[in-house]
Each structure stands twice: as structure tokens, then as C-alpha cells.
Structure 1
Amino acid sequence: MKRSEFRFFDHLRVRWAEIDAQKIVFNAHYLMYFDTAVAGYWRALALPYAESMESLAGDLYVRKATVEYHGSARYDDRLDVGLRCARIGNSSIQFLGGVFRADELLVEGELIYVFADPHTQTSRPVPPALRELLQGYEAGQGMVEVRVGDWAMLGRDASALRTAVFVEEQRIPAEMEWDAADAECVHAVAYNRLGLPLATGRLLQHVPGVAKIGRMAVSQAVRSSGVGREVLDALMKAARARGDHEVLLHAQTSAAPFYARAGFTPRGAEFEEAGIPHVEMTRAL
């Protein structure tokens, strides 16, 4: 088993609580490492797990888990946990995993899940949509489609995402979230391959030649998966296409590193909007 066999990796650092009296990672923790990697794998597939399984009318149950040990991890080691879907049967899915310290394989594992009725836990055939999605990811395909359009086209899904993130999660008053600009803006919504909306943002004209991006909202289950960046890139592409030479945005300070990675730089002092610290950031197009 080699690193090159994996498209997906979850990264971790061994904690003090995970080592045993022999000063190495306690053997059972490797199953936790693999299980944590599975959660990250679903994010990489742009699949909020609960909502996706509900839309597929089933759920996944572990049928078999095996671990083979080749070496030991120690406190403070930085580990990369690779995971890939190796085989899809009629109702079962086989995942293979490897725990690497740099290029050294320490532990390999096999997880076999069965797709089943969540009420009776009786097996069902793996849905074609899930089969194609898993095969597509392992083949290097993209997992998200970003649609760009007006409020009439995308407003229902954009509204649901913004309500969940801004009104319900961040507790911004609903009357502050909605304004007349929505009817005039260019909107973007990212969808996964099951058709579920995951992220949104909007683009308006600040002054001639300068675009303003706002209302960027990403479903909590898929944050840090790259979905938000795809929406941001789609909005910048739309701004560039209409001839804008600069784009600005008001970033929540907690999200400033995300925008910095996309080439934005801060301008001016920190300020508050809706009771949340923000900073203005700009980027040339």
C-alpha cells in the first residue's frame, strides 16, 4: 500500500490521550482514525451525510472492520490517513485505508459497509447515484456544480442556505439579511451530485469597474471541503466577464484566512456588521 493509491487524506496529530503505557498509540485508536477519515471522505464528496442518506432512502452500517499493524505512531506524530473506495458490490461498499507518517505505512485497514433500510437494517442494493458518485470521485471527477443566475433561478436555494447559516446559526436578525439588492444581483449556488444545495454567494456592482461579493454562506457539514472556494471563483469569473477590474468584500474576521488564500488582502480597520467583526478585503481581477 502506497500514498499514491489515495486521492483523499485526513490529517491529524497524535494527542497525549491516545498513547498507552508503551508510549505508542493504543491499537484501538486506529479504528477511530479510520472512522474520522470516513467523515472527511464524505465531505470531500460534498455529501452532508445525514441529508444525503435520507435522500437515498437508506444508511450505511459497518459489517466488517480489520486493522493490520506494521509500525507504531507516537505522541505528537503528524499522520496522514488515506482512504479510498476500493469495491462496490450489490449492497456492500469496501473502503481501504492507510495511516502514513510521511511515506511510511504504519497501519492499514479495511472497512466494509452495507447499505440498508434504516428502520429494519435489512440490506438494499447500493443506489446507482451513490455508486456513480463514489466511482466518479475515485476517477478524479469534480463533485460540485456551481450554477450562476438571477434570483428567480436560484433564490429558493440561496435563501434556504442563507437562512440556515446567517439567521439560524449566527443569529443575525432576519430583517437584516434580506434587501432589495437580491433582485438585481448575480447569484451563485453550488450543488452536489445528488442535487443538494451546499453554498451560495452574490455579486453586485459597487461602483463602475468594482464588483462586490457578499452573502457567502456554506452549509456547515461541508465547510473546509473547497465548496465555498468554487462559489467564490464562479462569482469572480462573472465579475471578470462583465469587465470589472477589482472585487471587494466584507469578510467576517474568522473567515479572513479563507479569502486570503484566494488572493484577497485586507484594507482598513476592523469594523462590525450585524454585531460580527468584519474586515474589508480586495483583490484585482
Structure 2
Amino acid sequence: MKRQDFRFFHRLRVRWAEVDMQKIVFNAHYLMYFDTAVTDYWRALALPYEQAMHQLGGELYVKKATVEFHASARCDDQLDVAMKCSRIGTSSMVFTGAIFRGEQLLITSELIYVFADPLTQTSRPVPDGLRRILTSYEAGEPMVTLKLGSWAELGAHAGAIRSEVFIEEQGIPLEMEWDEAD
């Protein structure tokens, strides 16, 4: 496995608390590194995880997680955690991960997630929309597009985003956010 096999990388630095008495990263921390990378992978897809899963009507549950050790990371190493969706089945998705220190491959991982009903935790088919987004991202397509135009053209969508960011997320009073100059 090589760096060029991946589009997505999450960078982190090994902290002192993650190192064991052998002065190498304690093995359980590598799963945390991969989990952290998966979180950033969702950001790269432009999918806020909680909102996306709610809209898709399911959740992702880990079915299997494997880690293979090739070399050890040490305190203060700067690591790149690579992640890709390598297969999408009927109800499961396989994510392949790798941890690099520079060009050196340290750790590989395979994470299998099952898309399931959050109440019963029974599997459901991976929604077509999610399948398209994952496939598009791994094919190198952009996940975000920027549209420029007049308020008359884009105001309906831009206003909704503006309200969500400034009024709902940042708590700015409605009367301060919208005025006659809009």
C-alpha cells in the first residue's frame, strides 16, 4: 500500500500520553487514529455525519475492525492517516486505512461498517445517494461547488444557508441578521 493509493489524509502528531513503556504508540490508539480519520473523511465528503445519517434514515455500525502492524510510531511523530472507501456492498461498506510517517507505511486497517436502522440495528441497503457520493469522491470528483450570482438567482438557497449558519448555529437574533438592505 502506498500514499498514492489514497485521496484522503488526516494529519496528526503522536502525543506523549499515547506512547507505552516501550516508547512506541500503544496498539489500541491506532484504532482511535483511524476513527478520527473517518470523521474527517465525512467532512471531506461535505456530509455532516449526524445530519446525513438522519436524512438517510440509518446509522453506520462497525461490524469488523482489523489492524496490521508493519512498524511503530513514536512520540512526536507526525503521521498521515489515509482512508478510502474501497467497497460498497448491499448493506455494508469497507474502508481501507493506512498510517504513514512520511513515505513509510506503519499500519494498515480494514473497517467494515453496516448501514442499519438506528432503533433495531438491523441492516438496511446502503442508500443510493450515499453510494453515489462515496463513489464520486473516490473517483476524484469535487464534493462542493461554489455558485456565484445575484441575490435574485441564488437568494432562496443562500438565505437558507445564511439562516442556518448565523441564526441557528451562531445564535444571532433574526432582527439583527435580516434587514432592509438584504
The one-letter code sitting in structure 2 at the alignment partner of 1:179 is D
The one-letter code sitting in structure 1 at the alignment partner of 2:81 is V
Partner of 2:100: 100
SS at match of 2:167: helix
Q: TM-score, normalised by structure 1?
A: 0.60
The one-letter code sitting in structure 2 at the alignment partner of 1:36 is T
SS at match of 1:126: coil
Partner of 1:126: 126
1:247-271 deviations in Å (ceiling 9; x for gaps): xxxxxxxxxxxxxxxxxxxxxxxxx
Alignment of 1:248-263 (within 5 A): none
Partner of 2:139: 139
After the TM superposition, which of the residue ranges 171-180 and 133-142 deviates more from structure 2? 171-180
Partner of 2:13: 13
After the TM superposition, which of the residue ranges 172-181 and 18-27 deviates more from structure 2? 172-181
Partner of 1:189: none
SS at match of 1:163: helix
Q: TM-score, normalised by structure 2?
A: 0.93
For residues 15 and 160 of structure 1, the distance between their equivalents in structure 2, rounded to whole angstroms, comes to 41
SS at match of 1:181: coil
For residues 167 and 46 of structure 1, the distance between their equivalents in structure 2, rounded to whole angstroms, comes to 21
**Structure 2: gaps of 5 or more residues:** none
Query: What's the offset of the Cα at 1:177?
Result: 1.7
Partner of 2:80: 80
Partner of 1:61: 61
Query: What's the offset of the Cα at 1:45?
Result: 0.6
For residues 150 and 114 of structure 1, the distance between their equivalents in structure 2, rounded to whole angstroms, comes to 43
Partner of 1:162: 162
Instruction: Tell me the C-alpha RMSD between the 2 structures.
Output: 1.6
Q: What is the number of equivalent residue pairs in this alignment?
A: 182
The one-letter code sitting in structure 2 at the alignment partner of 1:65 is A
Query: What's the offset of the Cα at 1:14?
Result: 0.6
For residues 149 and 47 of structure 2, the distance between their equivalents in structure 1, rounded to whole angstroms, comes to 23
1:215-254 deviations in Å (ceiling 9; x for gaps): xxxxxxxxxxxxxxxxxxxxxxxxxxxxxxxxxxxxxxxx
Report the structure number with the largest CA radius of gyration.
1
Greater strand proportion? 1
Work out the percentage of aligned pairs sharing the same amino acid.
66
Partner of 1:214: none
